[in-house]
């Protein structure tokens, strides 16, 4: 059957809606900001529509909100516009990023165009999971986002909105709303923005303070050079604690002993002492100094690096330490501040644990722990994952008791293994330091491969061991230190170890003709 459709007699409106895209992670108030923008447009009689595509995880699944708004056609009051549900690359008027890398993600997705788009973004950082889990410093380069934004956007407004939110007792979304008002990109008066916040009826006073501060800062930014430079605070030299007595006899004795070391080491040694004593006890701090004093003192740079990584290696992450950290009063106070819980609100924290049989066996004496570790039945029983609410008395008490096992830590399988591994590393450094200080320093710095907990620790330690075996193979070559440094860099960026294995095969080719 043939069906013919007569051409529509309804002409398409040539009026173009204003399009706004908002990119935010959970907890940053992206939904609130979008609701405000829609309510603002409707308050003035405009048609407005919002949609969102929620993500499934932090950063990789951050939500994208999209708004289209258009003024009614006075000549055709019975006509209603059909608005789009999704942003189209190259056709977005305003893009708002609740965090710097969200602004960068909008650029990558093509939502920002130089002939059209106003880009508003907070310059603060909320690190992504991939940045946090990197063996070394995995923080992305913020300067690259600023450079890209200055090229990709028609106008770029950026400043630290999280700092303003904290200062005003509000959230980033209110500051972003103020920045949008200050940009004058929407044809609405400041009073309309403020009335929208009041109409919402939630946290009005704090939101208005944040809104006003964001608006004023945006106006100031517009008056400046159109090219926005990184607004991050300048990097300061690493600040170490002072190596001085604290009024505790045992700890003060360690301080007096450490003060006999070269003065250039006092800062890093003070930090190391605090870390290992907090991890175990004063006697453990004495062991830290024993190992440090056993190293040759000729190379200050090597000693400085060794003091740092020795403390990190001695204060390894085990079940006891994890339980201790999760039950400290300071942690509950910090979480309460971060979620902005009021004094009259009940805070509940749910912890997700997935210990392996190795972690549980590591709490036992060596012989018993090794036997338990080999049990497949126990492994299946343990490897289920647990959800523990540490704000509940029973769960808190359980973790508190586990943290109390610290007094028995020296007799556990995990501690015996960690100390054996540490001593092998220290002996290797000491051996290389006599003939090749550069190689010794490279071997020392390679320790940054080892860190974290559970699978993360195992993967890092495996890669570290491979680099150590390569250092033994390379010893005696003039370029040995360079090769160890290169292998360490490859291992830091290599999640599954494939690239490291390839680099190690390259090392082996150096000896084929020897």
Cβ neighbors of 478 (< 8 A, separation 6 or more) are none
List the beta bridge partners of residue 53. Answer: 64
Asked if residue 350 has pLDDT above 70, the reply is yes
Greatest Cα pair distance in the chain: 99
Report the pLDDT value the prediction gives residue 136, as an integer from 0 to 100. 60
Q: Is residue 456 domain-shared with residue 493, that is, in the same domain?
A: yes
Output the pLDDT for position 101: 86
In a shared domain, residues 119 and 177:
yes
CATH of the domain at 57: 3.40.920.10
Quick one: pLDDT at residue 134?
61
Are residues 470 and 488 in contact, defined by beta-carbon separation less than 8 angstroms? no
In a domain, 129, yes or no: yes
Tell me: do 390 and 295 sit in the same domain: no
Q: What is the pLDDT of residue 246?
A: 92
pLDDT in tens, 461-473: 999 999 999 999 9
Mean pLDDT of the chain: 86
Residues 480, 450, 126, CA angle at the centre, nearest 5°? 115
User: Of the ranges 4-8, 47-51, 248-252, 265-269, which one carries the lowest mean pLDDT score?
Assistant: 4-8
**452 within some domain:** yes
- Between these two residues, 67 and 233, which has the higher pLDDT value? 67
Q: Report CA dihedral (268, 270, 272, 273) to the nearest 10 degrees.
A: 160
Is position 497 within any domain?
yes
pLDDT digits (tens, 9 = 90+) for 10-39: 444 557 899 999 998 766 778 899 999 999
Cβ-contact 441, 305 below 8 angstroms: yes
Asked whether residue 198 is domain-assigned, the answer is: yes
pLDDT at residue 304 in the model: 94
- Tell whether 508 is covered by a domain: yes
Burial (CB < 10 A; 0-12, 13-18, 19+), residue 415, is buried
User: 286 and 204: one domain?
Assistant: no
Mapped to the 3 state alphabet, what secondary structure does 387-433 carry? Answer: EEECCCHHHHHHHHHHHHHHHHHHHCHHHHHHHHHHHHHHHHHHHHH
How many domains in the chain?
4
Query: What tokens appear for 348 in the block?
Result: 């509940």
Query: Which tokens hold the place of 490?
Result: 């490859």
Asked if residue 501 and residue 383 are part of one domain, the reply reads no
pLDDT tens, 123-149?
888 776 666 656 566 677 778 888 888
pLDDT-based confidence at residue 9 (cuts at 50, 70, 90): very low
**Cα 150 versus chain centre, distance:** 25
What pLDDT is attached to residue 52? Answer: 86
What is the arithmetic mean of pLDDT over 332-350? 80
Residue 4 lies in a domain: no
Q: Which long-range contacts (CB under 8 A, 24 or more apart) does 381-384 make?
A: 382/355, 382/356, 382/357, 383/354, 383/356, 383/357
Question: Residues 6 or more apart from 176 whose CB is under 8 A from it?
Answer: 33, 96, 98, 120, 122, 161, 214
For residue 229, is it within any domain?
Answer: no
Question: What are the distances in angstroms from CA 394 to CA 314, 320, 400?
Answer: 31, 17, 10
DSSP H or E stretch at residue 52: strand 47-53
pLDDT for the residue 15: 72
Residues 219 and 83 in one domain: yes
Of 161, 126, 171, the C-alpha closest to 28 is 171
pLDDT band with cut points at 50, 70 and 90 for residue 235: very low
Q: Taking residues 415-425, what's their average pLDDT?
A: 96
The number of beta carbons lying within 10 Å of the beta carbon of residue 132 is 10
Q: Please choose, from the candidates 205, 93, 191, 107, the residue with its C-alpha nearest in 3D space to the C-alpha of residue 147.
A: 107
Determine the structural domain holding residue 380 and report its residue range: 319-411
User: Are residues 279 and 348 part of one domain?
Assistant: no
Provide the pLDDT for residue 102: 87
79/10 Cα distance (integer angstroms): 10
Over residues 222-228, mean pLDDT: 71
Same domain, 165 and 43: yes
Q: Do residues 122 and 256 share a domain?
A: no
Neighbours of 257 (CB within 10 A): 16
Tokens matching residue 327: 């039950």
Is the distance from CB of 161 to CB of 70 less than 8 angstroms? no
Q: Which of 411, 444, 467 marks a domain boundary?
A: 411
| Domain-terminating residue out of 315, 336, 355 | 315
Is 150 in the same domain as 88?
yes
Same domain, 323 and 446: no
Same domain, 370 and 491: no
- β-pairing, 386-389 vs 18-24, is unpaired
Reported as a single tens digit per residue, the pLDDT across 55-100 is 654 444 578 899 999 988 777 777 788 888 888 888 999 999 988 8
In a domain, 121, yes or no: yes
Of the three residues 379, 411, 443, the one that is the final residue of a domain is 411
């Amino acid at each position: 059957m043939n069906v013919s459709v007569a051409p529509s007699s309804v002409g398409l409106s040539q009026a173009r809606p204003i399009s706004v895209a908002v990119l935010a992670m959970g907890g940053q108030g992206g939904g609130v900001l979008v609701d405000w923008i829609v309510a603002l447009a409707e308050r003035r009689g405009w048609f407005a529509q919002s949609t969102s595509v929620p993500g499934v995880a932090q950063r990789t699944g951050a939500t994208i909100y999209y708004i289209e708004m258009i003024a009614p056609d006075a000549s055709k009051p019975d006509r209603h516009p059909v608005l789009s549900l999704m942003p189209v690359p190259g056709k977005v008027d305003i893009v708002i990023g609740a965090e710097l890398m969200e602004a960068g993600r909008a650029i990558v997705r093509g939502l920002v165009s130089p002939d059209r788009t106003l880009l508003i973004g907070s310059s603060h950082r909320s690190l992504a999971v991939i940045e946090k889990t990197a063996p070394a410093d995995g923080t992305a380069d913020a300067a690259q986002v600023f450079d890209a934004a200055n090229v990709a956007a028609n106008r770029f407004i950026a400043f630290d909105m999280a700092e303003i939110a904290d200062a005003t007792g509000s959230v980033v979304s209110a500051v972003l709303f103020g920045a949008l008002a200050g940009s004058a990109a929407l044809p609405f008066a400041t009073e309309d923005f403020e009335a929208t916040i009041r109409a919402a009826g939630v946290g009005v006073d704090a939101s208005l303070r944040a809104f006003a501060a964001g608006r004023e800062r945006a106006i100031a930014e517009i008056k400046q050079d159109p090219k926005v430079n990184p607004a991050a605070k300048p990097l300061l030299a690493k600040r170490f604690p002072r190596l001085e007595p604290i009024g505790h006899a045992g700890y003060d004795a360690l301080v007096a002993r450490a003060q006999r070391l070269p003065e250039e080491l006092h800062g890093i040694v003070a930090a190391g002492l605090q870390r290992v004593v907090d991890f175990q006890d004063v006697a453990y701090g004495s062991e830290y100094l024993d190992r440090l004093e056993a190293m040759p003192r000729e190379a200050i740079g090597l000693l400085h690096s060794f003091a740092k990584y020795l403390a990190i290696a001695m204060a390894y992450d085990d079940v006891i330490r994890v339980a201790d950290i999760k039950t400290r009063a300071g942690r509950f106070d910090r979480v309460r501040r971060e979620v902005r819980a009021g004094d009259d609100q009940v805070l509940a924290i749910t912890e997700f644990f997935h210990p392996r049989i190795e972690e549980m066996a590591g709490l036992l004496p060596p012989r018993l722990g090794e036997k338990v570790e080999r049990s497949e039945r126990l492994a299946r029983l343990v490897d289920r994952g647990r959800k523990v609410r540490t704000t509940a008395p029973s769960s808190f008490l359980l973790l508190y008791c586990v943290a109390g096992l610290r007094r028995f830590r020296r007799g556990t399988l995990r501690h015996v293994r960690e100390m054996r591994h540490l001593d092998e590393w220290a002996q290797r450094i000491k051996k290389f330091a006599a003939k090749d200080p550069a190689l010794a320093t490279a071997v020392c710095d390679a320790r940054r491969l080892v860190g974290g907990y559970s699978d993360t620790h195992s993967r890092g330690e495996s890669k570290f061991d491979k680099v150590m075996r390569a250092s033994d193979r390379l010893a005696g070559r003039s370029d040995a230190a360079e090769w160890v440094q290169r292998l360490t860099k490859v291992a830091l960026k290599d999640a599954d170890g494939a690239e490291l294995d390839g680099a190690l095969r390259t090392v082996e080719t150096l000896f084929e003709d020897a």
